[in-house]
Structure 1
Amino acid sequence: MKLFFRQTGETGPAIIILHGVFGSSDNWLTISKTIAAQGYRVFALDQRNHGQSPRADEHDYQVMASDLHEFLIDQQLEKPILVGHSMGGKAVMQYAMNYPGTFDKLVVVDIAPKFYPVHHAELIRGLNAIDLASLKSRNEADTILSQYEPILTVRQFLLKNLYRNEQGQFAWRLNLPVIERELHGIGEELTNPRIVNEPTLFMRGSESPYILDEDLPTIKRIFPNSKVDVIQGAGHWVQAQKPDEFVESLMTFIGHTA
């Protein structure tokens, strides 16, 4: 699958960024510019069924890893640094297991290589409650969604997927039926669990429940050459809530793991 991407920066080592579920490359524009200014080429991708990338019935970590591999071949990128948040973090971990020797370093943001129970079902219900055919404005969509999600910043993030198509009608940049069907799979454990020896950074929000102390032995077993950075004051959306600390952690890791 040919993924849509946004490139920031023209020279320097390549950094690939994969967003989480309900996200897109658009969420990473500011971070990408900050990183590129320090001498890197940043490629923020839209994963399948998200953003402007193609839609497909398949949505699991094996096909997401394959999509990433195809992208690296198409762009002739050798040994890039791979960064993934949440679902994107699992996708880059799966890639690392499937394609050893094709990347330089791995950065996994606030997700562990374990099973997570379905916990986005209410958000899906909220998005499905928005009748696009009769929708008049984003404010109306926000009012409907607020019945399912009380936090404004989360609703704003979700509604970034709302746009007007060429006919002027509201539409989603998400393949909602497939994502709803595959929510359980998005939380699944990874397959082909090869030991990954490449330098790996796990970034963990101090207020997030996604990486627990009890997960650290498993992380160290599968990723023996790894370290864990705790970003104080951050929840699951580390890069959005603490962008300066996120970039500092990333740059320190890149600079000290030659």
Structure 2
Amino acid sequence: MKLNHSVTGQDQGLPIMLVHGLFGQGRNLGAIARRLSEQRRVILVDQRNHGDSPHDPDHSYAAMAGDLAEVIGAFGGRVDLAGHSMGGKAAMHLALTQPELIRKLAVMDIAPVAYAHSQNHLVDAMAAMDLQGVVRRSEADRRLSEHIHDTGLRAFLLQSLDLKSDPPRWRLNLPALRDWMDRTTGWPEGLPKGIFDGPALFMAGAESDYVDDAGEAAIREYFPQARLLRIKHAGHWMHADAPEAVAETLSAFMGGG
């Protein structure tokens, strides 16, 4: 699948590709991209069924990894790759199946394990929202607040609402995300362990529970060379909670290309 993507920064050395998480889009990582683009070319992608990329019934990690590989091929065939949450799992899948495409791997607040939680309540809330007649984001926020009470979470989700469309529409493929939710929060069976021998950095939010002892053990199994850092004052959405710390940590790890 041809993913929507944008490019910024210096056209020198290997590019850095940034991959967003569930319900996100490339521009969610814009602050990180701006810092990294001071020294490197940075590619921001919208994953399938998100942003301005095409919709497809298949939302498997194999498909997502294949999409990333296609973009990488268009930019010379090798990158430094960083992904958050679902994007981190897609990045790990690619590193374990086509390691030659990745020089350095960075993963933000996710481990190669299955998680018990589901986000389908958010899918259901967006799907249930009446979009007819919505022209202002404030009105969209009011309607979504009937189902979701967290102001920050609503603001994040509403970034994926296209108000220029008539009627407004979600850029997210909600039916596909719902159908694949258990497998999105899960982890594919049968992936090889230890095949990626490049530098790998796993960044966990100090206030997040996504990388616990079991998650750390799984990271060591799949990526024996991995380093794990915990980012202070950051939860799961670390790029929003501590953008400067995340950007500086990634910049130091990725280097000048």
1:190 aligns with 2:191: no
Contact 2:133 2:167 survives alignment (8 Å): no
Partners of 1:136 and 1:72 in 2: how far apart? 37
Contact 1:98 1:192 survives alignment (8 Å): no
Larger RCO of the pair (alpha carbons < 8 Å, separation 6+):
2
Contact 2:72 2:78 survives alignment (8 Å): no
Given residue 28 of structure 1, which amino acid in structure 2 is its aligned partner? L
Partners of 2:138 and 2:83 in 1: how far apart? 31
Partner of residue 33, structure 1? 34
Partner of residue 239, structure 1? 239
Partner of residue 95, structure 2? 96
Partner of residue 22, structure 1? 23
The worse-fitting range, judged by mean Cα deviation, of 113-122 and 97-106 is 113-122
Note the 1:192-211 alignment, pairs <5 A. 192-194=190-192, 195=194, 196-211=196-211
Contact 1:6 1:45 survives alignment (8 Å): yes
Contact 2:81 2:105 survives alignment (8 Å): yes
Change over 3 Å in CA distance of 1:113–1:45 after alignment to 2: same
Partner of residue 178, structure 1? 176
Deviation at 1:147, TM superposition (A): 3.1
1:81 aligns with 2:64: no
Partners of 2:253 and 2:69 in 1: how far apart? 23
Partner of residue 221, structure 2? 221
Given residue 84 of structure 1, which amino acid in structure 2 is its aligned partner? G
The count of aligned residue pairs is 254
Given residue 252 of structure 2, which amino acid in structure 1 is its aligned partner? T
Partner-residue secondary structure (3-state), 1:104: strand
The worse-fitting range, judged by mean Cα deviation, of 232-241 and 28-37 is 28-37
Partner of residue 160, structure 1? 159
With the length of structure 1 as denominator, give the TM-score of the two structures: 0.93
Contact 1:51 1:161 survives alignment (8 Å): yes
1:252 aligns with 2:252: yes
Contact 1:85 1:108 survives alignment (8 Å): yes
Partners of 2:51 and 2:144 in 1: how far apart? 20
Partner-residue secondary structure (3-state), 1:249: helix
Change over 3 Å in CA distance of 1:164–1:144 after alignment to 2: closer
Contact 2:148 2:154 survives alignment (8 Å): yes
* CA displacement 1:46-79 (0-9 Å, x = unmatched): 0000000011110010000111111111232x33
Given residue 198 of structure 2, which amino acid in structure 1 is its aligned partner? E
Which runs of 5 or more structure 2 residues have no equivalent in the other structure?
Answer: none
Contact 1:122 1:148 survives alignment (8 Å): no
Given residue 187 of structure 2, which amino acid in structure 1 is its aligned partner? E
Deviation at 1:253, TM superposition (A): 1.8
Change over 3 Å in CA distance of 1:107–1:67 after alignment to 2: same
Contact 1:229 1:249 survives alignment (8 Å): no
The worse-fitting range, judged by mean Cα deviation, of 43-52 and 205-214 is 205-214
Contact 1:8 1:42 survives alignment (8 Å): yes
Partner of residue 65, structure 1? 65
Given residue 188 of structure 2, which amino acid in structure 1 is its aligned partner? L
Contact 1:97 1:192 survives alignment (8 Å): no
**Percent identity of equivalent pairs:** 37
With the length of structure 2 as denominator, give the TM-score of the two structures: 0.93
Partners of 1:131 and 1:35 in 2: how far apart? 39
Partners of 1:191 and 1:82 in 2: how far apart? 22
Partners of 1:225 and 1:19 in 2: how far apart? 24
Partner-residue secondary structure (3-state), 2:10: coil
Computed over aligned residues only, the root mean square deviation of the Cα atoms, in angstroms, reads: 1.7
Contact 2:72 2:101 survives alignment (8 Å): no
* CA displacement 1:74-110 (0-9 Å, x = unmatched): 232x331000000000000000011022210000000
Partners of 2:237 and 2:89 in 1: how far apart? 15
